[in-house]
Chains A and B, each alone.
Chain A
Amino acid sequence: MDDIQPNAEQQALIEKFLDENKLFLAPDPMIMENHRIEPRSAVEEELLGSGRVDAHKINEVRGLIIAALDESHTMIEQMGVAPGAKWGDMTTAIFTAAGDLSMIAPHGVGGFAAAVFYPIKFINKYWVNEPTVGVRDGDGFIHNDARYGGIHNTDQSMMMPVFWKGKLVCWLSATIHEGENGSCEPGGMPAAAESKFDEGLKMPPFRVAENGELKRDLVTFLQNSVRDPKLQLEDMKVRLHSVLRLRERILKVLEEHGEEALIVTLRQHIEDVVEEVHRRIRELPDGTMRTVSFADSTLRESAMLKLTMALTVKGDRMIVDMRGSSPELLNRSINACQASFKTMLFTGFMQNIWPDLPFTMAVFTPFDFIFDKNSLINGSFDTPQAMSLIPLFKTMTIACIPMAKFNYSLPHRYTAIVAPQYDQPASLIYGGLTQHCEYTGNFCADINGMGQGGRSHRDGEHSISPPFAAHCDLGEIELMEEDLPMVRLGAFTMARDRVGFGKHRSGLGYEQIHTYRRSGLWGFMTGCSGSLFSSSQPLFGGYASPAYPMCKIKNINIFDELKKNPGKFSFDMIELMNTQPFEGASYSTHTMGMTFELAAPGELYMMCQGAGGGYGDVLLRDPALVMKDLEENFISDETARDIYKVVFDAATEVVDEEATARRRAEEREARKARGVPFDEFVKTWVTPEPPAHLPYMGCWDDPSEVYGIYAGQRVKMQGPDLTSQFMLNPKDVRIAELEAELATYRQGQAGGK
């Protein structure tokens, strides 16, 4: 067969045949690997190249569009049923006819919109001219599979074309973090997923509304595929009607200002952003900044998974090199595809580095990316990606450190330099039967309460937001308790001493004490790393967040205990765990990667939302700020003395300034005495490969040599030839350990006879 050489005509025929006879329209790499804006269309070229662009008109039209986006977003916020929708985890957006994201709602989660341009481009490419599908006025398309664009499969979008005088002029979208999607564990983010077929709904973009109405047969199919059919129906209606309202407003803009004004505004907006980002990169120093980040869990077992980033600035280009990162895991759910990675990295840039830029993916048009194929953040189509949040939450903050080092020298700044925010989704996921006899599964809004990193000029804010949006809220516990059998015995107590220490400390996370009652079937899971290795990294000599375990008190019904002896309950999880006040209860700590487990009523599941990284040397922290932290119960006396080296009177909390200066000077001398010159240190510190006891994945020194774990054995691969890693079932591993122990015991017994 290899010797057949088709001529040009035959080749064209073959290509036409292949083009028209695709077996399966899987995600298209031409779409999924291209984060840049499209070239101008002929119409855009004619309008923008004509010199007739009126900046005032653009400004006016932009204002109308933003107002319309704001209104449609508020509609979701007011009507949405998913916990994510109630607390801000959603957005509406507008795209050019080609599918490039132009603008989002002012308080929207930009990452959603910055991921939705992929499925819109898929619809443009595959459905517009497909005789069995087509794209018509009044159509609405649904989508949730991150492999076709998206962050993870809990997020469902409604995408709608806008036609004017028979022509497609733009696209609109509405996205909500729905939660429940029929996955193998409730709540839509299954840590237990071992293949993509455990992930529940996997919707490529398809039409679910015609003439502005949902198709009941398809809605029924989707309702039948999830645990919470009410949620599925209600939020499909909410998304559709918010987009229909947005469409109405855009049609008014077209009526009032004409098609040209809309097209020019949408396109000029993103071209301006591209030009501005080129300018911002150009003013940075040329060079390369590197950083590493580690997740310590696959959510099924503890393992060190490395992300390595090298950012290079050369003139007005930015190159993001992620080679050397952990390989993908074929039977674990924490992989992410490169489109999701880019979307989340972009989100982090918008939250921490250039928050003043318009929220459009065009920001990344001047960026180049380099990945190893089959890596954790460039996962292949077949890998499960339901808990992609593990690498993606780190992705949102990873650029803070290298970009701080690029930005520091600038004579002006677009925002304060900030150390990374807490970077794991420390939120309880729940599922079961509610007190209203309805099945459900979702997550708590605590995901929106991460502590911020310390900043160049002040401390980080406590539990301020998720790393993907500045304006999501924590939710009202009382409202949650009306819908769910869960009871929060400890809700927002600041987690004392769990701080990224520094000249400017991080914001703190808070303690969460969860339990439930009035349900015969209820359980919990968490999907979070950072119980062994500090998660959020520090900046410029500060310290990181601590490591956070999950704490449980089982074999107890706390409601009975509260009736019998309420004074025993302290509302402080550290005290509860250390004093163990309830007789007969079992107290235990676990990593924060916990697959779904059923709990008994009144058992306690306790965890913390995390702190960000600290900024700068602890010895430079103003002693008055240390004492303020002490006064506000953010730190203990011991921390003030041992970490910050402040000398004070414990009774009066008055600082002895001179003694503090002496103590700090002593500490600086002590540092000089114990520190070893770098070259000398490296000789004894660096090992040729990861320690044998560490289940390690990713490069060690050379980014082109990557370690993995295949069926329990360490393997070493060349970066360009990564293969998927296969993890053993943790229960099989445990059984083998116990069998080995048993064999040893039996041998001992036999020897004793």
Chain B
Amino acid sequence: MKVLITENLRIDLEKELWECRHCDAALVSARDNYKRGLLVYDRDPREIHKPLLDPSKYKLTYSPDPQWCRILEYYCPQCGSMIETEYLPPGHPPVRDIDLDIDALKAQWRSRDEVLEAPVGTDPPRRLHDHDHAHGHGHDHGARK
């Protein structure tokens, strides 16, 4: 039995291991901080949120200030997928963001079927501009040619 925990991670309950959902790599014990099974990179935020205003003219440019803000990028060591990102001031300890009671999780999933693909949840109907959809009003605009 495997339990999906995030878009990128799942836990193998029998083996008690964190796994990458993209390449199935076993990362670290499920009782441990999953980040310990990943690679980390300290990204200068100006590389992602590039200056849109001319830095030679202005101090504030739409880029976060690298003296105030860094991006920690967490990668799967096997496939290089981005598992998590964390915006922190320089030197701030990474946050232990997920801390599950694994015994309780095992007990909870004894009565549940395994979920392989995460459900979406309800999504309200959306009116499209091109009318290329079923209205359910009893009239049909026909398919777009």
Instruction: Give A residues with C-beta under 8 Å from B.
Output: 285-292, 294, 296, 304, 356, 401-402, 404-405, 408-417, 456-458, 497-498, 501, 503, 531-534, 537-544, 546-549, 551, 574, 577-578, 580, 587-591, 615-620, 638-639, 642-643, 667-672, 674-679, 681-682, 685-687, 690-691, 693-694, 696, 700-701
Contact = CB atoms under 8 A, between A and B. Distances in A.
Contacts of B7: 408, 456, 503, 539-541, 615-616
B40 A678 contact: yes
Contacts of B87: 294, 533-534, 537-538, 544
B60 interface: yes
Given A409-B4, A678-B39, A456 B118 contact: yes
A541 B82 contact: yes
A642 B47 CA distance: 9
Interface string B76-119: 01011111110111111111111111001100100011010011
B75 interface: yes
13 contacts: A541-B83, A543-B85, A546-B49, A577-B53, A620-B81, A672-B77, A672-B80, A675-B40, A675-B77, A676-B40, A681-B42, A682-B93, A691-B89
B98 A540 contact: no
Contacts of B49: 534, 543-544, 546-547
Contacts of A620: 81
B96 A638 contact: no
A671 B82 contact: yes
Contact of A285 (B35, B88, B104): B104
A620 B83 CA distance: 12
Nearest to A687: B91
A682 B95 CA distance: 11
Closest 9 CB pairs of A and B: A675-B39, A668-B80, A413-B121, A687-B91, A549-B60, A287-B100, A286-B104, A540-B7, A541-B82
Given A541-B8, A617-B8, A686-B91, 13 more contacts: A291-B97, A409-B5, A414-B122, A417-B121, A497-B62, A531-B60, A541-B82, A549-B60, A617-B82, A618-B82, A685-B94, A694-B90, A701-B93
A609 B88 CA distance: 23
Given A541-B83, A675-B41, A686-B91, A416 B62 contact: no
B14 interface: no
A415 B58 CA distance: 42
Contacts of B64: 532-534, 546-547
A667 B41 CA distance: 13
A499 to B, nearest CB: 9
A481 to B, nearest CB: 28
A641 B42 CA distance: 21
Contacts of A618: 82
B112 A691 contact: no
Given A543-B48, A574-B53, A287 B80 contact: no
Interface stretch (B65-73, B127-135, B136-144): B65-73
A681 B118 CA distance: 32
Nearest to B77: A672
A696 B73 contact: no
Given A285-B101, A501-B48, A532-B68, A681 B79 contact: no
A411 B115 contact: yes
A414 B63 contact: no
B29 interface: no
A540 B9 CA distance: 9
B5 A405 contact: yes
Residue from B6, B38, B104 with most neighbouring chain A CB atoms (10 Å):
B6
A315 to B, nearest CB: 9
A415 B89 contact: no
B80 A690 contact: no
Contacts of A701: 93
Contact of B58 (A542, A577, A639): A577
Nearest to B107: A286
A676 B115 contact: no
Contacts of A415: 121-122
B90 to A, nearest CB: 6
Given A411-B112, A417-B121, A532-B68, A679 B77 contact: no
B85 A589 contact: no
